[in-house]
Structure 1
């Protein structure tokens, strides 16, 4: 299996996504070659193996300077052993380093930093804890960018090491870089970095001979060469690092007046400015303090303290402290299963440091402030009822009855119910269809702009309040939020954007994904519109066009710019933290970047009160606090690793000679029509495209595909999605969430490992072999049956129904081009049985009414799973394509539809009476 995942792994730096993974592979390969050389010492193959070791070791050294471990001293001893031909010593040292890198022992065990003989595992276990040398404190690395002579770097490291104190909460090691390029490389590849110390005076060009360094850096780092003057290079590097890894703490050591520099806008990204090295211990303490700020989990830390206190509980929560469980004759096993901590940490109190989720003033307030900092938001709210509730909170907070919301018809049902609750009128816009997979993509920008122009033409643009979109979609379609918001704000500069990023919360911490996030776009546009450069750009653009006319159809095809004096950045993002981070089920976050939030704060609090339980789960709140800590401290490493793993799975499946006959992971070319992939990108990374080109496509294309979400096509194997999902679970213990008619969705996350990938690949290989064996033994008839099954799944797929329209009874202007409707009254009409009727799906009555009328109007939401979007909403006119789609559905779960009753409709008489009253 490892050969499947690692086959043809590129050795060039620019050809890999995660250089740390390439580094580990190179050390493992060197270890194997060194062992072979050691075994062959004195034999005929020794000379060739020695040469191979020299070549591989030189390759390893190309980027080894980016990490503190193993360091110059230990590497020097490896080089000496190699040069004098000591195969045994070379093999031992290489094994030591390779094993430490793979296991992470260098973070815990001081001995792996030295060249001395290793203790074996049994000897280590026999030693008292105080002399084992194992350090259980969290470990990190600090990058020092300095103009000093590299010959002095080891001395500097030793001096920093001597500053360690027993009461330090963490311990760190130092890695040096002598130039802008070397520092940028280290920041990109070293996942252990938590802080960067910049010492004025370093140069730009790398000191190392890495042939494709510039190509590698160009993926994420854009350098304005006008900022590369010696006096500004350190601040330019600081801004560059902050843009790429905003979680890192940045410190500047300068001999220029630090007092004036510290107060400048240029120093805003710095945590602290020092006057060169006059206070080395202060630098040491500042580094630890900066990491501690991210490590602190205010709510979780206090909950642990609360659990250890001798509390007498006289509130309505018998489970608290566990006495009702451990003292029970019948449910004592509950306590044994869950343990004491979860019971001791339960309470319905909001005092004693536990705080109130509804009116936070203490630990929850501080936790929410930390979330806002970590995720790049102005404000953050914690949700304990899932993102379904978070979406309803935001919709109800920013919408009132009569407001128009331009919304993807295929968004999660919580948005639709939010419109019912708020009285907002949805204007449904359609995503591009992927009929072959029975799924939709995302809504083209041109479609969204057309909806805005239709509202403008009907005199309703002032009522358009929100644009509501899912980013990224269940199937991995990522919008270009900067582009969407900029072009829509050119038409209406005060629009609110709600981005449902339920599956995308992790994206903040991954440089590939961050460029496609709502908060990332909000920050970028805010800075852009406040800059003098943008004002000049806008004035030049405006001089050739005049004022923006929101009814001008040219807006559809041209890139118009918002007026910087009128535009307001108003962005809300919801994320299901539990879906992509280490939080308990239903843990959610609401992130806010709204320049006019002072107008919304009151309604937002009311909506929060309306939907949030007065008895929130304390463990959920604590897990959200911890999820934030983890992502701030290791999110970069975890998200890049999971992305790399997903790409290896994709490559392993699509290039396997047998598996690829029956299974395929859909590529960006398969999932995104060419007109929305302006770059022409077909798939990520070599051999399809360079990583620099892949990153450029993520910057520029209208839509991109999240590489961590793998649509695995199973129809060519004769399995529908539901059948295949069940088979994976029952036979191979592989759990899958989402399915379509002929596919399942495999989503990698920060929990997945290479072993998980191997399990999946092995299952697909086993199934492929079974299919091959069965077909070879069956006759022509059996093979035709299989071919017919594949054809029914892959070719004879039903067309996907678009939203038709709201019935005239629920529209203010039935003759207008805009298609918003009053869904709330249609929804509540269904509460009265007399207002409703039922028709059987396959009855002649349905076909007759489609031909002759009266129109059939849905009384409720009808949502089949899969595909999981509402094919009917209250007040919608039901058309022939919707009926045809329902008749071809072979899924068992259809919310809002019961076959025994039929389709629930609003009666024609009720529609006529409502229409008559509205006309009057």
Structure 2
């Protein structure tokens, strides 16, 4: 397999017929004769654009004999350009070879800070082009040969080996697909390399994911080093599984666990599977429906103890084992809307009070690579270990880094007194791992970690922050130009820096800030990750006040989807986008342009058939309705039910446990349940997770009772879904049945 990494030459004489041009083209031809690809450019141009080529090139060759070097004045300017260019390259890549060449100038003309970044200085015509070409290509190949991390390197070597496969999978390196017309289509779409690399765990030279040996072990060790952890374990079926592995390695039936109330449902599944007794910490929320942080006071041991005392099942568990601490704390770091916690403050409060601290950092794996996030993520360089508590961080490598779907990892930081028993941990790992892992996912975990090695990873994160702030600045510029007319807002601090990325302090949530709507927060405890951007649509304030007119986000995101822009999450009057390391200027400018188009179509009240034809094919009753009119219909429905208040209060309302979650789930599996209509739910205990979308956060877990506010919300959802099909509120756990031509809604409750 040949990877394409050309040598990039920058020389203004590259296409000239003078001596310099003839010489550099002779060198280029000699390198091509050695099998290399060469690309010639005639000026540095935009520094950042050329610096992007560091990810595609195997070496740079830069001329210092161009016209700007001819006089003392222009020479200084040329040196400055050269320095800027090299610094831009080194900001992202410490290792790519950089050569200077010239006919008259030597290293004596070049300052030391530039010389130390070079791999060589070439004097034209002193050696043959062929000799110089081999010298350059030796360095270039040494560089590219060292790029691949351990597992990916082994997988490439295996796929290139040409061995006949007698093991699973049955397509045998893609051969089976070639025997069928539709298989041919599949083979052509995914390609030879992916299918040759799709192998089973019988291939000894690739190592073994299940017992962490060979190249897999080397890659996990490499990733642990890069992420500042003592151990790293790759997971090929998502962070939902990573979370369950952590829990099953630490939690047993009857253990008290302390959990973020707005955690991912995989944590709630882990509670059910382990038979644990949960005590919940309740995050703040604002009336836009955005999830804020758990207040610092909630984490204080005395307040956790009060929650244990108030929960009959936790109280009973503690009475049986009064010497046991809560077994694990799991919090969502960051929240779904981008709020993160100061981990050092949590360690100071809870080290020695809870056995294991688990940070579900599915949405935060990038934070370890930039000082912007210092202390606001689990495992950082040069930060103290806990004295007693083991620390786990689980990462969705596929969400914010460059892993492919389901790529995840578990990171472990041991305490001063507690070491990880890898054998015990691996029992839990095996419980949730397939014996046929997808090797492309393992390779993407390996490569995603290697990509974050500083300085490259630091540069990638800084670019993400910079693009996010550029988007926010562009949205504010549009708003200013519209004046008193309406426009979309981006949720965040009132003031942001005019240029660059600023500092962490710019994004700290202060107790006296009005913009976040989370009330009196502890100083220095939380910040908003600027790469998580929530776009707020008109109609609802952060204080929960409805305007006379409004534009619900569900219509905006449907409009965007039909115009090729798909967002991450949609709320009542907000939608969420992320500036990952893969986001480009073109993408966010396309989003901004699409929002401008929406505004124009809304102001003209164009009919739905014209602007959302695909939607109207599915729901023809809206064809003649104007966009502005439809927005107002949905807005009036929200306003009449005061739905912002209801959705906020239902998540903040106290939940009453009727039984352990595992016991309620057991009753469901034994069919000891009643299917109860919405109007009869108050006081009944659910047997299932009840999860409204948006925001996709479980509202009730098995064994908890319905209260009046939750029933009120479900009644609204029933009425809204019947009145405005196509914009329905999706609630997992709500059963829809057609009874005599009428749609009815039920929830399975324990008897």
Q: Report the TM-score when normalising by structure 1.
A: 0.59
- In the other structure, the counterpart of 1:570 is 390
- The equivalent residue for 1:762 is 593
Select which of 269, 290, 303 maps to 1:439.
290
Report SS of the residue matched to 2:413.
strand
**Which residue of structure 1 aligns with residue 260 of structure 2?**
408
Which whole-Å CA distance do the structure 1 matches of 2:145 and 2:501 have between them? 41
Counterpart of 2:469 in structure 1 is: 647
How many residues align structurally?
595
Superposed, 1:536-551 pairs within 5 Å as none
Is residue 332 of structure 2 the alignment partner of residue 480 of structure 1?
Answer: no
- Tell whether the 8 Å contact from 1:864 to 1:895 is kept in structure 2 after alignment: yes
- 5 Å-filtered alignment, 1:546-565, equals none
Query: In 1, are the aligned partners of 2:340 and 2:376 still within 8 Å (CA)?
Result: yes
2:536 equivalent in structure 1:
713
Asked if 1 retains the 8 angstrom alpha-carbon contact of 2:342 and 2:526, the reply is yes
Structure 2 distance, partners of 1:787, 1:724, is: 13
Q: Does the alignment pair 1:804 with 2:648?
A: no
Distance across 1 between alignment mates of 2:383 and 2:259: 24
State the partner residue of 1:860: 688
1:588 and 2:408 aligned:
yes
Aligned to 1:331, the other structure's residue is in SS state: helix
Q: Secondary structure at the match of 2:233?
A: strand
Instruction: Map Cα deviations across residues 90-112 of structure 1 (whole Å, 9 max, x no partner).
Output: xxxx9933335423368655245
Please state how far the C-alpha of 1:789 moved relative to its aligned partner.
Answer: 4.8
User: Is 2:195 the counterpart of 1:343?
Assistant: yes
Summarize deviations over 1:788-812 as a string: whole Å, max 9, x none: 754655765224213634445x2xx
Distance (whole Å) between structure 1 residues aligned to residue 747 and residue 565 of structure 2: 36
Are residues 1:611 and 2:432 paired? yes
CA contact (8 A) 1:803 1:871 kept: no
1:579 pairs with 2:399: yes
Alpha-carbon offset, residue 720 of structure 1: 2.9
Write out per-residue CA displacement over residues 309-365 of structure 1, whole angstroms, 9 at most, x where no aligned residue.
232222232223221112334421111111111111121143341111101220000
Shift of 1:648: 1.2
Kindly indicate whether the alpha-carbon contact (under 8 Å) linking 2:475 and 2:490 is maintained by their aligned counterparts in 1.
no
Q: Is residue 664 from structure 1 mapped to residue 491 from structure 2 by the alignment?
A: no
State how far apart, in whole Å, the 1-side matches of 2:564 and 2:293 are.
32
Contact 1:505 1:577 in 2 (8 A): yes
Aligned equivalent of 2:112: 153
Q: Does 1:102 align with 2:53?
A: no
Once residues 692 and 448 of structure 1 are traced to their aligned partners in structure 2, the CA distance between those partners, rounded to angstroms, is 23
Give the SS at the match of 2:232: strand
**Structure 1 residue 512 displacement after superposition:** 1.1
Deviations 1:808-858 (A, max 9, x none): 5x2xxxxxxxxxxx211111111122x2112211x3x34xxx4xxxx3111
TM-score (norm 2): 0.72
Deviation at 1:568, TM superposition (A): 1.4
The Cα shift of 1:697 comes to 7.1
Q: Select the structure that is richer in helix.
A: 1
In the TM superposition, what are the counterparts of 1:278-293 in structure 2 within 5 Å? none
Report deviation, 1:416: 0.4
- 2-structure distance, mates of 1:426, 1:379: 27
Q: Is the 8 A contact 1:668 1:704 kept in 2?
A: no
Superposed counterparts of 1:645-794, under 5 Å: 645-657=467-479, 661-669=485-493, 682-686=494-498, 691=503, 693-694=505-506, 701-716=524-539, 718-730=550-562, 732-774=563-605, 789-790=634-635, 793=638
SS at match of 1:582: coil
Deviation at 1:701, TM superposition (A): 1.9
Q: 1:785 and 1:339 mapped to 2: Cα distance?
A: 46
**CA separation in 1, counterparts of 2:117 and 2:429?**
53
| 1:331 corresponds to 2:183 | yes
Question: Displacement, 1:443?
Answer: 1.1
With over 3 angstroms needed to count, the CA separation of the structure-2 counterparts of 1:333 and 1:788, relative to structure 1, is: closer
**How many Å separate the matches in 2 of 1:103 and 1:155?**
17
Quick one: structure 1 residues 150 and 705, their matched pair in 2 at CA, closer, same or farther if it must change by over 3 Å?
farther
Q: Is contact 1:409-1:803 (8 Å) kept?
A: no
Q: Following the alignment from structure 1 to structure 2, what is the Cα–Cα distance between the partners of residues 880 and 303?
A: 57
CA contact (8 A) 1:663 1:713 kept: no
Paired with 2:600 and 2:443, the residues of 1 have a C-alpha distance of 47
Query: Are 1:740 and 1:867, in contact at CA under 8 Å, matched by a contact in 2?
Result: yes
Aligned-pair CA distance for 1:642: 1.2
SS of residue in 2 equivalent to 1:433: coil
1:831 aligns with 2:669: yes
Helix, strand or coil for the counterpart of 2:411? strand
Q: Closer, same or farther in 2 for the Cα pair 1:748/1:113, shift >3 Å?
A: farther
Looking at structure 2, the residues matched to 116 and 689 of structure 1 have their Cα atoms a distance apart, in angstroms, of 36
Q: Tell me, in whole angstroms, the C-alpha distance in 2 between the residues paired with 1:706 and 1:570.
A: 26
Alignment of 1:85-164 (within 5 A): 96-99=43-46, 101-104=48-51, 108-111=59-62, 114-115=65-66, 140=94, 153=112, 156-157=115-116, 161-162=120-121
- Name the SS of the counterpart of 1:400 in structure 2: coil
Q: Does 1:624 align with 2:445?
A: yes
2:36 counterpart residue number: none
Whole-angstrom distance in 1 between the partners of 2:524 and 2:175: 59
